[in-house]
A and B are shown apart, each in its own frame.
Chain A
Amino acid sequence: MKMMKLAAGIAASLSVAAPALAQDLHFPMLSYRTGAYAPGGIPFADGYQDYMTLLNERDGGIGGVPVRISECETAYNTERGVECYESIRDDNPLVIQPLSTGITYQLIPRATEDGIPIHSMGYGRTSAMNGDVFNWVFNYPANYWDGASVAVNYLTSENDGSLEGKKIVLLYHNSAYGREPIRTLESLSETMGFEFSAIAVDHPGQEQGSQWLQIRRERPDYVLMWGWGVMNAVAIQEAANIRFNMNNFIGIWWSGSENDVRPVGAGADGYTALTLHGTGTDYPLYDDLQQYVIDAGLAAGAGDQIGSVLYSRGMYAAMLAAEAARTAQEIHGVAEITPAMMRDGMEALSITQERLTELGLPNFSAAFDVSCENHGGGGQAMVQRWDAEADEWNLITDWISSDRELITSLATEDSAAYAAENNIEPQCAM
């Protein structure tokens, strides 16, 4: 009898799980507002949510259909990421943004099987830029290999066109994320003639004494950093302690937020980082945001992150998702799109400066197009420098392009291996 009750109880609890038919556009968020990486996860989630709230409040959603956001806490943990994915996958999610390279790797085969697009914006599996193999995965506007190449190109221009004989050290988070650029940098060191070595920092990166001792011994001309969370601030502090020239210390876009430089104070002045988009609140969009979201008391989280680097990135991700949804609505002529239609929209996405100006974000990001073969966008980034006195990031370059030829050949090689392992036919020739 006990068993019967249990079975009945389980059956009852399972039957309520069937989702209602969509009357809205569901954009799930896999966020992390807790755990070691929360300082990076919170502003991103706030920005993403606020932009979607703005669309709902100002325009009544996208194409007249309201946007629904659901948030699932992953704490940057892959097992929780799987749980989150399972909990939303039957709920018509239009696009999954895993916000963690590890979780992205796990979700690529699952989402491909289930027909749900993934957008890993500026993270995730780099070779997913090859849409011929990774039909459901997008990583525009730029990926880690672009980042590495842009950083090297920036340094080349700083050195009058040659890095011959220079020594570059990569300080990386010892995870899938941090190891991504190593192969590209190794290839670049051969063609450009600089000396390259990589130094790993284990999660979470609070202790970096030995790494910086090694950097001090090796006396590199430049240090590149692929860090995340507390590792960034600790690295910048250590660099300041050994009086490393901050202008020669360059972080990827995930190592260039206020959280990373503020704790170091004046010592962080001159620290340089790549960025995919503009920061600060000097964009017309923020007037609307103030009016419809902040003043209305609808701001996500504590509302104290607005305009910060990672907030802008979350907003950027939301903007790209909304634009892709709009494109999908145009292509298919229906307002209530499905994940499969969303994929088509993402593949046909075209971001132009005119469109950005229309959105109230003039020159916020580089213009780029997505195509079936190229899911990686244009691969451009800017370089920004921290001004500790004024407490702000200043852009010091225009858009710098990456060495796309090299990156495409590396990506093709890597994705071909994946396609062979998983018996994937080319998707674009159809």
Chain B
Amino acid sequence: MLYREAGDFKSTYSSDNQTFPIRFDRYAYWAALGFAFLVVPFLLTDYWANSIVIPLLIYVIAALGLNLLIGYCGQLSLGTGAFMAVGAYATFKLTFAFPWMPIYIVFILAGLVTAVVGVLFGLPSLKIKGFYLAVATLAAQFFLIWLFTRVGWFFNDSATGMITMPQRSMFGVTVTGAAASAIAVYITCLIFVVGMSWLARNLTRGTLGRTWMSIRDMDIAAEIIGVNPLIAKLTAFAVSSFFVGVAGALLFGVYLGAAEAGEAFGINKSFLVLFMVIIGGLGSILGSFLGAAFLVVLPVLLKLMLVDTLGWPADLARHLEVMVIGALIVIVLILEPHGMAALWRTIKDKLRLWPFPH
């Protein structure tokens, strides 16, 4: 019903190699983009924007970044929270040092700073693998948070170690600070999400992504066929950290507005993003979206349903939410160990053949 592929022939290499080779997918993609840019801004209320959509978009970027590292290059990292903190603190320092700088540029520069830090902490990956590497990145998590809470330079010696985002605008529209409208923030996040998922998708389809995947699948074999593991692993760390850094910059800059390294970017954040990637599907761009949606949107929807609609006590709903989310994670992973993206892949294969499965 959904997929009608009869007559959808490819006559050139470029049309055969495009991102969405199936016509229906392509149309759905353009429709979704149009919907997100042209329809959602008019429907969105402040509550929906600030409590669901904006955090979702930001976590999608973080999950994309971690997915590039773990899903495509096979390098396990537990330092995501700290790398997000690097992005946030870089934004803070840069925007105070150069108040005239357009805020989008600040976010991108913050991502680049994070990329450099990510490469530094990615160096051990040349020597160690798997769980041992995870422990090495865990060290990054603790070291960076320690640095951001101890060295006054990073938080401009504020009495509490909190960093707060001043008001900044882009193209004359305020996008950070309390005066920013929800729509402006939404569009900002959406631009970054679209741009970065386009980047991620095309990186993984190209030479770089293929070298990452060869390292992931078997590093010795990859080395024998001429892949340089130094370049492959360090670029994976750099690109991944760039994504995660931008996510941290956005989380601090446009969403939280004030942050404190230990609370906002602690080890819990690393695990949250890791869970998104695992539940969504390792090595899948769509999986990053699905995983982030699962862990960001579902708790809020549950709360809306139980507390605001059914009138349950807030604490009971919260306890139940922990149990429901936990149970769902287990169920999803038992039914589909490769994540929700793999679930969709199966459904899609069936849909393409439907109604004649043989």
Residues of A within 8 A of B (CB): 3, 7, 10-11, 14, 17, 31, 33-34, 71-73, 75, 78-79, 82-83, 86-87, 89-90, 101-102, 105-106, 108-110, 112-114, 125-127, 174-177, 179-180, 182-183, 200, 202-203, 414, 418, 421-423
A-B contact pairs, 22 of them (CB 8 A): A3-B31, A3-B35, A7-B43, A14-B45, A14-B48, A31-B315, A72-B314, A73-B303, A78-B259, A86-B46, A102-B162, A102-B260, A105-B258, A106-B256, A108-B258, A109-B164, A175-B260, A176-B260, A203-B262, A414-B159, A421-B164, A422-B166
B164 and A73 form a contact (CB under 8 A)? no
Q: For window 31-69 of chain B, which residues contact chain A by CB distance below 8 Å?
A: 31, 35, 39, 43-48, 50-51, 55
In the assembly, what is the distance between CA of A360 and CA of B147, in Å?
Answer: 50
Number of A-B contacts (CB under 8 A): 117
B35 and A83 form a contact (CB under 8 A)? no
B263 and A203 form a contact (CB under 8 A)? yes
A33 and B315 form a contact (CB under 8 A)? yes
Which of A83, A101, A200 makes the CB contact (< 8 A) with B160? Answer: A101
Residues from chain B with a CB closer than 8 A to the CB of A34 are 315, 318-319, 322
In the assembly, what is the distance between CA of A86 and CA of B54, in Å?
Answer: 13
In the assembly, what is the distance between CA of A220 and CA of B162, in Å?
Answer: 29
Asked if B257 CB lies within 8 Å of chain A CBs, one says yes
Residues from chain A with a CB closer than 8 A to the CB of B339 are none
B314 and A176 form a contact (CB under 8 A)? no
Residues from chain B with a CB closer than 8 A to the CB of A106 are 256-258
CB-nearest residue of chain B relative to A83? Answer: B51
Asked if B264 CB lies within 8 Å of chain A CBs, one says yes
* Given known contacts A11-B43, A203-B263, A33 and B314 CB-to-CB distance under 8 angstroms: yes
In the assembly, what is the distance between CA of A260 and CA of B263, in Å?
Answer: 22
Residues from chain A with a CB closer than 8 A to the CB of B164 are 105, 109, 418, 421
* Given known contacts A17-B45, A34-B319, A82-B51, A110 and B178 CB-to-CB distance under 8 angstroms: yes
* Given known contacts A10-B43, A17-B45, A71-B313, A422 and B167 CB-to-CB distance under 8 angstroms: yes
Which of A72, A86, A109, A126 makes the CB contact (< 8 A) with B178? Answer: A109
Residues from chain A with a CB closer than 8 A to the CB of B209 are none
In the assembly, what is the distance between CA of A203 and CA of B303, in Å?
Answer: 26
Residues from chain B with a CB closer than 8 A to the CB of A82 are 50-51, 255-256
Asked if B300 CB lies within 8 Å of chain A CBs, one says yes
In the assembly, what is the distance between CA of A421 and CA of B96, in Å?
Answer: 9
In the assembly, what is the distance between CA of A371 and CA of B160, in Å?
Answer: 25
CB-nearest residue of chain B relative to A184? Answer: B159
* Given known contacts A7-B39, A106-B257, A176 and B161 CB-to-CB distance under 8 angstroms: yes
Residues of B within 8 A of A (CB): 31, 35, 39, 43-48, 50-51, 55, 149, 159-162, 164, 166-167, 177-179, 255-260, 262-264, 266, 300, 303, 307-308, 313-315, 317-319, 322
Residues from chain A with a CB closer than 8 A to the CB of B264 are 78-79, 102
How far, in Å, is A151 (CB) from chain B's closest CB?
A: 17
In the assembly, what is the distance between CA of A89 and CA of B47, in Å?
Answer: 9
Which one of B31, B160, B262 has the greatest number of beta carbons of chain A within 10 Å? B160
Which of A10, A114, A176, A203 makes the CB contact (< 8 A) with B162? Answer: A176
Residues from chain B with a CB closer than 8 A to the CB of A422 are 166-167, 177
In the assembly, what is the distance between CA of A72 and CA of B307, in Å?
Answer: 9
In the assembly, what is the distance between CA of A127 and CA of B160, in Å?
Answer: 11
CB-nearest residue of chain B relative to A173? Answer: B262
Residues from chain B with a CB closer than 8 A to the CB of A418 are 164
In the assembly, what is the distance between CA of A174 and CA of B160, in Å?
Answer: 10
A87 and B258 form a contact (CB under 8 A)? no
In the assembly, what is the distance between CA of A360 and CA of B167, in Å?
Answer: 46
* Given known contacts A79-B55, A421-B164, A102 and B263 CB-to-CB distance under 8 angstroms: yes
How far, in Å, is B293 (CB) from chain A's closest CB?
A: 14
CB-nearest residue of chain A relative to B163? Answer: A105
Which of A110, A203, A414 makes the CB contact (< 8 A) with B266? Answer: A203
CB-nearest residue of chain B relative to A111? Answer: B178
CB-nearest residue of chain B relative to A420? Answer: B166
A105 and B149 form a contact (CB under 8 A)? no
In the assembly, what is the distance between CA of A366 and CA of B300, in Å?
Answer: 41
In the assembly, what is the distance between CA of A278 and CA of B154, in Å?
Answer: 41
Residues from chain A with a CB closer than 8 A to the CB of B313 are 71
Q: A78-B259, A78-B263 are in contact. List 16 more A-B contacts (CB 8 A).
A: A3-B31, A31-B315, A73-B303, A73-B318, A102-B264, A105-B258, A105-B260, A106-B258, A109-B177, A110-B257, A176-B260, A179-B160, A179-B161, A182-B159, A422-B177, A423-B167
Residues from chain A with a CB closer than 8 A to the CB of B159 are 126-127, 179-180, 182-183, 414
B51 and A86 form a contact (CB under 8 A)? yes
How far, in Å, is B341 (CB) from chain A's closest CB?
A: 20
A75 and B162 form a contact (CB under 8 A)? no
CB-nearest residue of chain A relative to B55? Answer: A79
B262 and A83 form a contact (CB under 8 A)? no
In the assembly, what is the distance between CA of A175 and CA of B148, in Å?
Answer: 11
Residues from chain B with a CB closer than 8 A to the CB of A7 are 35, 39, 43
In the assembly, what is the distance between CA of A233 and CA of B47, in Å?
Answer: 38
Which of B45, B46, B149, B167 makes the CB contact (< 8 A) with A174? Answer: B149
* Given known contacts A105-B160, A106-B256, A175-B263, A87 and B47 CB-to-CB distance under 8 angstroms: yes
How far, in Å, is B299 (CB) from chain A's closest CB?
A: 9
Residues from chain B with a CB closer than 8 A to the CB of A105 are 160, 162, 164, 258, 260
How far, in Å, is B348 (CB) from chain A's closest CB?
A: 15
Residues from chain B with a CB closer than 8 A to the CB of A33 are 314-315, 318
In the assembly, what is the distance between CA of A87 and CA of B178, in Å?
Answer: 16
B314 and A73 form a contact (CB under 8 A)? yes
Residues from chain B with a CB closer than 8 A to the CB of A11 are 43
In the assembly, what is the distance between CA of A78 and CA of B258, in Å?
Answer: 9
Residues from chain A with a CB closer than 8 A to the CB of B44 are 14
In the assembly, what is the distance between CA of A90 and CA of B182, in Å?
Answer: 14
Which one of B178, B317, B319 has the greatest number of beta carbons of chain A within 10 Å? B178
* Given known contacts A3-B35, A11-B43, A182-B159, A31 and B314 CB-to-CB distance under 8 angstroms: yes
How far, in Å, is A214 (CB) from chain B's closest CB?
A: 15
Residues from chain A with a CB closer than 8 A to the CB of B39 are 7
How far, in Å, is A99 (CB) from chain B's closest CB?
A: 13
How far, in Å, is B53 (CB) from chain A's closest CB?
A: 11
CB-nearest residue of chain B relative to A15? Answer: B45
B262 and A174 form a contact (CB under 8 A)? yes
In the assembly, what is the distance between CA of A109 and CA of B45, in Å?
Answer: 20
A202 and B166 form a contact (CB under 8 A)? no
B149 and A86 form a contact (CB under 8 A)? no
How far, in Å, is B209 (CB) from chain A's closest CB?
A: 31
Residues from chain B with a CB closer than 8 A to the CB of A423 are 167
Residues from chain A with a CB closer than 8 A to the CB of B322 are 34
In the assembly, what is the distance between CA of A125 and CA of B161, in Å?
Answer: 12
In the assembly, what is the distance between CA of A225 and CA of B159, in Å?
Answer: 17
CB-nearest residue of chain A relative to B39? Answer: A7
How far, in Å, is A49 (CB) from chain B's closest CB?
A: 11
In the assembly, what is the distance between CA of A202 and CA of B150, in Å?
Answer: 12
In the assembly, what is the distance between CA of A305 and CA of B39, in Å?
Answer: 50
